[in-house]
Amino acid sequence: MSLFLRDFASLEPREEALMRSEWQGSATRIISAAGIAVLFGAVARADSPREKYHAAFGPELRTALKGTIGVLTISALRPDTTAVLKVYSEFGIAPIRRRAPKTTSPGQPSPPDTSVAPAVPEERPGNGYVVGVLNGTIPVSNFGYYPPFEPYAVDEYRYPITARRGRYLQIVTDPVDNRRRWLDPEEVQRNFRVKVVMLDSLAAVSPGELFLDVFRFTPDRKCRLYKTPSPDADFRLISETDTAGYLLSILEVRGGFARVGNYVVNLVNQLETPKIVPLGWVRIWDDEGVLLIWIKNEDLC
């Protein structure tokens, strides 16, 4: 794993401080692991991918994240200005017609009644239409290159999933206006790579495949780390600045809490299996049902 040099010139002051802290945390680990005494510069590689957030924390985002049950991630198979999603309006009741029974000729025995008995009306999505991904949706975040190599690439665009009915998912396509639409992941797969992560199944995600951000949806970029999965348990506060060098992974999910650990890679011997050092439990939702965590990717190269 190489030491990337970062350029902070184009960052906002707060983001600059966080980026510098993250870099310093990474640099400390590299020095400790390799025994290097001197670092040359503090400027970042421009081609290093990172997770970028497109929705600022505030009342609008909190409203959009309320009731979130999962995260949908899509990546276009190729850069395309016309990349679109087929979406649907609200679900409705589809009429169910009764099949007429068979009739027989006079004198013939009556066949068994094969008519369809009245059933519970089936819910189906409304009329389908397409929206442009680049100009018609706002992902909460995405993982990619900045500046991008391909200006029209759709790289790991992430949207909150707020409902599920059969194979259909409702996602927030615009967190500013809280615009929600339904889609069929099987249809989306025709033009995109699709990953659906449900929050009650976070522990099933392979370690090192995705990581957690537990600070983005808090006003002060601090998070409570509980000893046990209970809001009444003892806790300590951790901050984004203090844990800038951490890679948070999921170990377990229980009762609205996720047990997290620091994903540690041996920077000297990358063939060694990474370890996850348990840290504690974090809440997945607050008391109002607003999502407190988010999945993200990290550049491990």
Pick the closest to residue 170 from 136, 134, 196 (CA basis).
196
Domain-by-domain residue ranges, the chain?
Answer: 1-46, 49-93+125-200, 205-301
> CA angle, corner 257, sides to 255 and 262, nearest 5?
145
Look up residue 250 and give its amino acid: I
Kindly indicate the confidence band of residue 205, based on its pLDDT and cuts at 50, 70 and 90: confident
- Answer positive or negative: Cα dihedral of 222, 223, 224, 227: negative
Burial classification of residue 47, based on how many CB atoms lie within 10 Å of its CB (0-12 exposed, 13-18 middle, 19 or more buried): exposed
pLDDT, one tens digit per residue, over 241-282 is 999 889 999 999 999 999 999 999 887 877 788 899 999 999
Residue 91 near residue 167, CB atoms below 8 Å:
no
First to last CA, the chain: 5
DSSP 3-state of 131: strand
Residue predicted with more confidence, 76 or 209: 76
Instruction: Find the helix or strand (DSSP H, E) in which 15 lies.
Output: helix 13-34
Entry pTM? 0.75
Long-range contacts at 224-229 (CB < 8 A, ≥ 24 apart) = 224/282, 224/283, 225/260, 225/279, 225/280, 225/281, 225/282, 226/257, 226/280, 226/281, 226/282, 226/283, 227/280, 227/281, 228/281, 229/254, 229/255, 229/256, 229/257, 229/259, 229/281
pLDDT, one tens digit per residue, over 2-31 is 332 333 333 444 444 444 444 344 433 333
CA 14 vs. chain centroid, Å, equals 24
> What are residue 220's phi and psi, to 5 degrees?
-115, 10
